[in-house]
C-alpha cells in the first residue's frame, strides 16, 4: 500500500496545535522538524509538521476532516495550505526522519529524537519522540520555560512541574541537576508519556509522576519536610491566573521561584497585576514572539 505525506511549514508557535489536529487522523504519529536555512547552522524558527495517511478507501474522508480542522485553526491565525505527495510503501516510515534537526535550548540542552546520533559537545541531550502531539520543544512557551529552568534551577533542589504534558520540563530539570521532580498532569495519557520519556532519558528515578493538579501539588508541599524551591507551569494564562488566586505560591518554599508560561503579550499586564496582588514579586519577564514567560518569587513576609 502507498502512503500520502501531508506537510505544512509553520511557526513553532502553531506547530503543536497543527500536530494535535493531525494526530487525530494520522495512524503513524506526527513528525515535527526544525527547518534549517541554507548555509545556516541553526534552526530558522520555522518547523515542518508532517503526517502520513494510508492511500486507501478512507483517504478522502481523512483529508476532508483534516482540512476542515485546519480551516477552523486558520480563523484564529493564518495557516498555509497543506502539501500532499505520494510515497511508495517502502519509503514512508523513514521519509521524515532524515529531515529532522536537533533543537538547541539555552546553553546547556539539545532536544533530540530517539534515533538521532550527533555529537552534543557540552550540551545535555534531551530525547523526545517528535511524533508526539505535544511537548516536543518547538513551541515558544516550552522553549521559554526550558531556558528559564536553566537559569533559575538550584542543583539538588526539588521541582514541581504542573501540567507536565510530555515531561519535557521535568526531564530538563533532572538533567540540569534537580534531585527530585514532582510531575503532575490531569491527563492520564500525559502521565504515561512522561513516565516513558523519563525512562528514555535515564532520569526516571528522579521523577514522581502523578495524576493531579494544584490540589496535589499543595498536598505534596504540606507533606514534604522541605517544600520545593521551584515550580514550573506551562499552561494557559487563564488557568494560571485562577491557580494564583487559589494559592499557587504556597506550593514553593519561602523565596522559592515560580516559572509560569503560556501568557500572551496582551494578557501580561492583567496577569502581573493578579500576581502582585497575591504577594508575588515579579523577578523577570521573558518573551518570544507574542508569548511571555514570567518568573515570580514567593516571599511570605
| Structural domains counted in the chain | 2
pLDDT attached to residue 14: 82
Task: Output 182-188 pairs: Cβ under 8 A, ≥24 positions apart.
Answer: 182/158, 182/208, 182/210, 182/217, 182/220, 182/228, 183/207, 183/208, 183/209, 183/210, 184/160, 184/210, 184/211, 184/212, 184/213, 184/216, 184/217, 185/211, 185/212, 185/213, 186/211, 186/212, 186/213, 187/211
Residues 36 and 175 in one domain: no
The list of the chain residues with pLDDT below 70 reads: 1, 28-29, 33-45, 88-100, 130-136, 300-301
Q: What per-residue confidence (pLDDT) applies to 20?
A: 81
Q: What is the pTM of this model?
A: 0.74
Please tell me the predicted confidence (pLDDT) of residue 38: 46
Q: Nearest to residue 119, comparing CAs of 143, 100, 102, 97?
A: 102
User: Looking at the structure, do residues 239 and 170 belong to the same domain, yes or no?
Assistant: yes
- C-alpha cell of residue 109: 540542552
**What pLDDT is attached to residue 47?**
77
Verify that 162 and 93 share a domain, yes or no: no
pLDDT at 256: 93
Domain that holds residue 180: 140-298
Instruction: Specify the pLDDT at position 35.
Output: 62
Give residue 45's pLDDT.
65
Assess whether 93 and 169 both reside in one domain.
no
The CATH number of the domain where 82 resides is what? 3.30.70.120
Q: Is residue 219 part of a domain?
A: yes
- CATH for 213: 3.40.50.150
Amino acid at each position: 500500500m502507498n502512503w500520502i505525506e501531508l506537510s505544512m511549514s509553520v511557526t513553532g508557535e502553531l506547530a503543536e496545535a497543527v500536530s494535535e489536529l493531525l494526530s487525530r487522523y494520522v495512524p503513524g504519529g506526527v513528525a515535527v522538524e526544525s527547518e534549517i536555512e541554507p548555509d545556516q547552522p541553526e534552526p530558522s524558527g520555522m518547523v515542518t509538521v508532517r503526517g502520513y495517511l494510508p492511500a486507501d478507501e478512507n483517504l478522502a474522508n481523512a483529508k476532508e476532516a483534516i482540512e476542515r480542522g485546519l480551516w477552523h485553526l486558520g480563523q484564529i491565525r493564518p495557516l498555509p495550505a497543506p502539501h500532499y505527495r505520494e510515497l511508495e510503501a517502502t519509503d514512508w516510515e523513514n521519509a521524515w526522519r532524515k529531515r529532522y534537526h536537533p533543537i538547541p535550548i539555552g546553553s546547556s540542552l539539545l532536544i533530540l529524537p530517539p534515533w538521532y546520533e550527533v555529537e552534543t559537545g557540552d550540551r545535555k541531550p534531551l530525547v523526545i519522540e517528535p511524533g508526539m502531539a505535544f511537548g516536543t520543544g518547538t513551541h515558544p512557551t516550552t522553549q521559554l520555560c526550558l531556558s528559564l529552568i536553566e537559569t533559575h534551577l538550584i542543583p539538588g533542589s526539588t521541582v514541581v512541574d504542573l501540567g507536565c504534558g510530555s515531561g519535557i520540563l521535568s526531564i530538563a530539570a533532572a538533567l540540569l541537576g534537580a534531585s527530585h521532580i514532582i510531575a503532575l498532569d490531569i491527563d492520564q495519557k500525559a502521565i504515561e508519556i512522561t513516565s516513558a520519556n523519563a525512562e528514555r532519558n535515564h532520569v526516571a528515578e528522579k521523577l514522581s509522576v502523578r495524576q493531579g493538579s494544584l490540589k496535589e501539588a499543595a498536598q505534596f508541599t504540606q507533606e514534604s519536610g522541605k517544600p520545593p524551591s521551584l515550580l514550573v507551569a506551562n499552561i494557559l494564562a487563564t488557568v494560571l491566573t485562577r491557580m494564583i488566586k487559589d494559592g499557587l505560591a504556597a506550593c514553593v518554599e519561602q523565596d522559592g521561584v515560580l516559572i509560569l508560561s503560556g501568557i500572551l503579550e496582551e494578557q501580561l499586564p492583567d496577569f502581573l497585576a493578579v500576581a502582585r496582588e497575591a504577594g508575588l514579586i515579579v523577578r523577570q519577564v521573558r518573551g518570544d514572539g507574542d508569548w511571555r514567560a514570567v518568573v515570580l518569587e514567593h516571599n511570605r513576609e
